[in-house]
Amino acid sequence: MRVQRALVSVSDKRGLEELGRALANLKIEILSTGGTAKALSSLGIPVKQVADHTGAPEILGGRVKTLHPRIHGGILGRRDLESDEKDMAAQNIAPIDLVVVNLYPFREAVARGAPLAEVTEEIDIGGPSMIRSAAKNVAHVAVVVDPDDYPRVVSALKEKGELTQELRNELQAKAFAHTAAYDASISSYFLGQLGVPFPQQLSRPFEKAQDLRYGENPHQRAALYKDPLPPPEPSVPFATVLQGKELSYNNLLDLDSALGCVKEFDETCAVIIKHNTPCGVAIGASIEDAYRRARAADEVSAFGGIVAVNRPVDAALARALGETFLECVIAPSYATEARDLLAAKKNLRLLESPTLAGPRSTWKRGGMELRGITGGMLVQDRDVGEAAELKTAGKLAPTAEQLNDLRFAWKVCKHVRSNAIVFAKGGQTVGIGGGQTSRVEAVKLAARKAVLPLAGTAVASDAFFPFRDGLDACADAGATSCVQPGGSVRDAEVFAAADERGVAMVLTGMRHFRH
């Protein structure tokens, strides 16, 4: 069936002129409303106001424009059903063959912090109704919600005067996804206004940023989706890729881990991630110094690693980065000379996230963490908790230097897979052990991997020591201070062991499991 009449009503005016002129040149009647009709008329494109088509004026300040039988009857009427044709003829309803609609900018109003009354007015009613009507009647009507689809729609109309059923089906699926995401945004906003973290029905809108070559392994398909609006803190999906090969699924996971760890620090800091866990973290007098110290903690694992820094990349750091094969670097910015130096590393991905430079006080860290399991989804608060104070557990209180090391180790420990153990000294990781089924084994792994001296180190444990053997292993390795959550039924035994071994122990009262 040839397209003879189109209804065009869009908030996103991208491509509107080209579409309007093409429809007019094809002698397709254009119905429109409000700003869209005004925009088309100003371009000299013939357009018929919906109010003139329906014989009913817009009312309620524009809230009711298209909610009329001559609109929805024209869209929903089945051309191959005699009873529908009789109803349309009796009510003088002309068929509408093409619906081009996108919705009021609700999410944009939320993003700019508009007041509730203004946000509420950006909830589209007629638009979703027309989209759903057209999508339902896909056998006879085409619906277009994305300006990026205009060129191929116009091409099909020029070639055949109609859209194939295959194309209409594709546009139908996209239309329902469009309205579902829109409604999910509205739901999320009002649930947020009420402070409801875990609603009975969870709807989260995400937009596809890109297809990925594959997932964790080549036989797995994958894509990156991102929130419709940037979060109020640095994030990987909203960082700018400056150079390098296409990011992989594993790159993105590792970048998120690196970014999460470096965001713990106000000090000049560098983080190196390998296989989704830190292998070297350090603070330094300069960003080059911080990176070199992080790399020195485990140079073997740093090979092929992911780097995050919270200061601009200067030429000195760029030279240091060029000394080792790396997969990705994410930073607040890059000096011109640094970009020139790193350009020689054609496969090195460089990402830029300007707000990463801080201050951290300007970020709003939080939100929910979603993790899929077979047949369901687990949802929890993101772990952005910080221990309010460190409480001395035994007879020995840590020195000021030890306290600094303990705080540093504790921040890193949050980002290591459980069971997690981190040895640190002087603002530098010395040994990291994680992902073990036994805390004692995590201690032994961290000590075994250490290439820097363990004597006098501070050690952090992401959860309590269930027995004294874990603490003894830390002391055997050289630790002289320890930070852990506490809470074991054998705490007294562990505290006594710390006193016996000369280890100053402090408690956070907060656990940081990372499974």
Closest by Cα among 203, 210, 207, 208 to 228: 207
DSSP 303-350: TTEEEEESS-B-HHHHHHHTTS-EEEEEES-B-HHHHHHHTT-TT-EE
At residue 158, the 3 state secondary structure works out as helix
**Active site includes 136?**
yes
Closest by Cα among 368, 332, 365 to 350: 332
Checking DSSP bridges between strand 391-392 and strand 504-507, what pairing results, if any? antiparallel
| Half-sphere CA count of 21, side-chain side, radius 13 A | 7
- Residue 204 identity (one-letter amino acid): R
DSSP 8-state class, residue 403: H
Instruction: Please state, in angstroms and rounded to a whole number, the distance separating the CA atoms of residues 124 and 132.
Output: 13
Our CA angle for 429, 431, 432, nearest 5°, is: 95
**Active site includes 275?**
yes
Q: What is the largest CA-CA distance in the chain?
A: 96
Which structure tokens are listed for 114? 């508009």
Instruction: Please state, in angstroms and rounded to a whole number, the distance separating the CA atoms of residues 239 and 234.
Output: 8
In contact, 8 and 48? CB cutoff 8 Å: no
The active-site residue, picked from 48, 174, 245, 275, is: 275
In contact, 445 and 474? CB cutoff 8 Å: no
Instruction: Please state, in angstroms and rounded to a whole number, the distance separating the CA atoms of residues 170 and 168.
Output: 5
SS (H, E, C) 409-463: HHHHHCCCCCCCEEEECCCEEEEEECCCCCHHHHHHHHHHHCCCCCCCEEEEECC
The active-site residue, picked from 48, 136, 226, 345, is: 136
Instruction: Please state, in angstroms and rounded to a whole number, the distance separating the CA atoms of residues 387 and 499.
Output: 23
Would you name the residues annotated as active-site residues? 136, 275
